[in-house]
Amino acid sequence: MTRTSFLPVCTLACLVLAGFAHAGSGTVNSQANQQTGAAAKTGEAAAVPMAGVPTPANAEVRSATEEELQAIRQRGAAVKAKASAAADAKLNAASLDVEKEATTKEVDVSTRLASEFGVTKESLVAEKQSLSVSWGEVLIAHTLQANSVVPVTVPQVVALRGEGLGWAQIAAGLGFGLPSAVAAVQSEVKVALGSTPADGKVAVIRGSKLDVSANTKPGAKSAKAPVSASVGAGLTPPVPAAKP
């Protein structure tokens, strides 16, 4: 074969090889695009259920204003020292009972409380860690928040505690009677310890005219607490039904 005839053959061979290379590249790109699209769809699908999972960041949708928080502080400060100290002693003892149980059965305690307060165990554990509180404090904060008609969040309740307010002062600041607040927390402690099954109905706190709406929350269970004399104070008495 002469040099002149050899060049066209080489050129033709190069063109054929280039065609195969281009076809292979198209196949690879097509597969890559398909994989990218599939990955995108998978990511979108995974994002849907995650949006509804309660977490410390999005589980609490209500938030008290600074004015409302200041009102809580003022009402709490007005509580008589003797009554506040007595209630705090019982609430702190209840908190310690829960923490003692959690030292050996933390998974059980977190599972029971998550079921009782209507959140996932993972979100409750994350909340406890982010707020740097004990399981007993988690229980008290959630019990108070669940009953409150003031739009306060669990982190806000814990923040008030961090300011130096006792649990009794916070309870009174939210409008609760102290005997009833203690009884409700003690009722929830039984859930944490496993002596009472979790039913998703937080014990009701009574004892203040500010708590009228909380007493009638759907699904709330009675803590069988003594009702304070302040219940109904300042409210208009019911009008007797007219006789036919």
pLDDT digits (tens, 9 = 90+) for 36-93: 444 433 333 333 232 223 334 334 456 899 999 999 999 999 999 999 999 999 999 9
Q: Does a structural domain hold residue 153?
A: yes
φ and ψ at residue 203, rounded to 5 degrees: -55, 135
- What are the residues whose beta carbons fall under 8 Å from the beta carbon of 182, sequence distance 6 or more? 87, 90, 91, 94, 225
State how far the Cα of 226 lies from the Cα of 183, in Å rounded to an integer. 8
Number of structural domains found in the chain: 1
Whether the per-residue pLDDT at 199 is higher than 90: the answer is yes
The domain containing residue 180 runs over which residues? 66-216
SS3 annotation, 120-186: CHHHHHHHHHHHCCCHHHHHHHHHHHHHCCCCCCHHHHHHHHHCCCCHHHHHHHCCCCHHHHHHHHH
Per the domain annotation, does 107 fall within a domain? Answer: yes
* Confidence check: pLDDT of 244 > 60: no
The proportion of the chain whose per-residue pLDDT surpasses 90, expressed as a percent, equals 57
* Rounded Cα–Cα distance for residues 89 and 241 (Å): 45
Q: Look at the pTM and tell me if it is higher than 0.85.
A: no
- Please report whether residue 2 resides in a domain: no
Q: How far is CA 89 from CA 86, 105, 123, 133, 139, in A?
A: 5, 24, 29, 18, 16
In a domain, residue 21? The reply is no
> pLDDT value at position 211?
38
pLDDT category of residue 136 using cuts at 50, 70 and 90: very high
Asked if residue 146 belongs to a domain, the reply is yes
More confident residue, 13 or 167: 167
Query: Is 164 part of a structural domain of the chain?
Result: yes
How high is the pLDDT of residue 204? 95
Compute the chain's Rg from CA coordinates: 31
Q: What is the DSSP letter of 243?
A: P
Kindly state whether residue 230 falls inside one of the protein's structural domains.
no
User: Is residue 97 a part of any domain in this protein?
Assistant: yes
Average pLDDT of the chain, as a whole number: 74
**Angle at CA 233, nearest 5°, toward 228 and 234?**
170
